[in-house]
């Protein structure tokens, strides 16, 4: 990573968020990756109450309940769309999972926590958003110095519009005004967008690979992950998951094939509310860096390596050295 050694993941706890969080934790554990110092929650794949519970569930499965959870926005700044149920009504596959001994949330809210942690870990903190931008926008409004103190802000949201992606992307649409606040305060040295359109185009993996290769890894995390995605995997024969791609691109940046610089924006009114605007320009004229393409085969191998790491470590520790 670029000078940063700690990350916060701001999320709306659907199945793809779960995979992203698992990925960050496993990469930290087995590859000396950046330390996940907090999760912050927001409305999105399901309502924030369930998002918080899902964060608890994810950390319990990962055996990382030391990671604090700060609860965030329950609604958008101005207009709150209906939450999505792509990953089931509870966000994690509607499997009826009931885990005990879950760690409570921190008393401080997500917005104040983002500001405070940016002060404590000045220049060493990357914030990764894989849901609505409400919490980050409020942090920027509360403290204009927030963006300058963090090492970088990575945003999984939006589209580079073309014939196949000529609509509002889900994370951007969930709080259009918050997205506008962020792009107004963005600068290319501090803010990188990972548009869902580019993940769909360059990491267009098959459902078969997801289920029979990645999904066949024999670990507790992957068994849970398969259940968390059991609703969404029925929707298409493709597997195009934004959130784990965002985290992968942050922690292992050589997976990125091409960056571009853009005057990046969002339309606030009319029939095209939530549509993104992009004009690719030089860095000096840009407000954001865009991850434009990623390396598919390297990404697939990265997922297999990271999610196999627990299994590989177990195999090594149980091997008979005298046999």
Whether the pLDDT of residue 225 is over 70: the answer is: yes
Pairing of β 276-280 and β 256-266: antiparallel
- Asked whether the predicted pLDDT for residue 323 surpasses 50, the reply is no
The pairs formed by 264-267 with CB atoms below 8 angstroms and a separation of 24 or more are 264/158, 264/183, 264/186, 264/193, 264/288, 264/290, 265/180, 265/183, 266/158, 266/172, 266/176, 266/179, 266/180, 266/183
Please say if the pLDDT value at position 106 is more than 50.
Answer: yes
Greater model confidence, 321 or 301:
301
Instruction: Give the mean pLDDT of 178-188.
Output: 98
257 vs 211, 212, 250, CA distance in Å? 26, 27, 13
Give the CATH architecture of domain 6-318.
Alpha-Beta Complex (3.90)
Residue with tokens 């939006």: 158
Q: Is the pLDDT of residue 287 over 60?
A: yes
Measured between alpha carbons, how far is 23 from 11 in angstroms, rounded to an integer?
A: 14
Q: How high is the pLDDT of residue 23?
A: 98
pLDDT band at 313 (very low <50, low <70, confident <90, very high): low
The more confidently predicted of residues 312 and 298 is 298
194: closest CA among 145, 237, 159?
159
**pLDDT confidence of residue 84:** 76
**Residue 1 pLDDT level (bands cut at 50, 70, 90):** low
Chain segment 5-58, per-residue pLDDT in tens: 999 999 999 999 999 999 999 999 999 999 999 999 999 999 999 999 999 999
DSSP label of 267: -
Supply 164's token pair: 């196949």
Question: Does residue 122 carry a pLDDT above 60?
Answer: yes
Distance CA 323, CA 320 (A): 6
Q: How does residue 98 score in pLDDT terms, banded at 50, 70 and 90?
A: confident
Q: Quote the pLDDT of residue 318.
A: 43
> What gap in Å lies between CA 63 and CA 60, rounded to an integer?
5
How far apart are alpha carbons 56 and 99 in whole angstroms?
Answer: 9
Q: What integer best gives the mean pLDDT of the chain?
A: 95
Q: What is the mean pLDDT of residues 92-109?
A: 95
Q: Assess contact for 9 and 55: CB atoms under 8 A.
A: no
The 10 Å CB-count burial string (b at 16+, else e) for 55-92 is bbbbbbbbebeebbbbbbbeebbeeebebbebbbebbb
pTM of the model: 0.95
Q: Model confidence over 238-272: pLDDT tens digits?
A: 999 999 999 999 999 999 999 999 999 999 999 99
Mean pLDDT over 59-76 rounds to 98
pLDDT at 86: 95
């Amino acid at each position: 990573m670029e000078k940063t050694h700690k990350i916060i993941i701001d999320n709306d706890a659907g199945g793809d968020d779960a995979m992203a969080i698992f990925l960050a934790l496993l990469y930290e554990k087995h590859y000396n990756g950046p330390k996940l110092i907090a999760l912050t929650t927001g409305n999105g794949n399901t309502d924030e109450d369930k998002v918080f519970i899902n964060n608890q569930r994810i950390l319990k499965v990962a055996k990382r309940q030391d990671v604090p959870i700060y609860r965030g926005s329950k609604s958008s700044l101005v207009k709150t769309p209906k939450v999505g149920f792509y990953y089931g009504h509870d966000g994690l596959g509607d499997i009826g999972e009931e885990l005990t001994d879950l760690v409570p949330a921190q008393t401080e809210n997500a917005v104040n926590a983002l500001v405070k942690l940016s002060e404590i870990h000045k220049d060493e903190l990357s914030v990764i958003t894989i849901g609505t931008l409400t919490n980050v926008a409020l942090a920027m409004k509360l403290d204009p110095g927030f963006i300058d103190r963090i090492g970088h802000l990575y945003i999984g949201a939006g589209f580079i519009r073309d014939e196949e992606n000529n609509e509002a992307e889900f994370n951007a649409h969930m709080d259009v005004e918050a997205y506008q606040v962020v792009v107004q305060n963005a600068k290319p040295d501090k803010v990188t967008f990972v548009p869902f359109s580019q993940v769909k185009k360059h990491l267009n993996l098959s459902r078969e690979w997801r289920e029979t290769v990645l999904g066949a890894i024999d670990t507790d995390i992957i068994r849970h992950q398969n259940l968390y995605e059991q609703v969404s995997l029925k929707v298409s024969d493709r597997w195009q998951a934004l959130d784990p791609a965002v985290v992968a691109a942050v922690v292992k940046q050589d997976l990125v094939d091409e960056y571009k610089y853009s005057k990046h924006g969002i339309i606030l009114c009319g029939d095209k509310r939530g549509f993104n605007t992009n004009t690719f320009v030089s860095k000096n004229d840009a407000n954001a860096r865009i991850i434009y393409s990623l390396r598919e085969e390297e990404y697939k191998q990265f997922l297999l390596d990271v999610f196999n790491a627990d299994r590989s470590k177990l195999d090594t520790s149980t091997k008979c050295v005298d046999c």
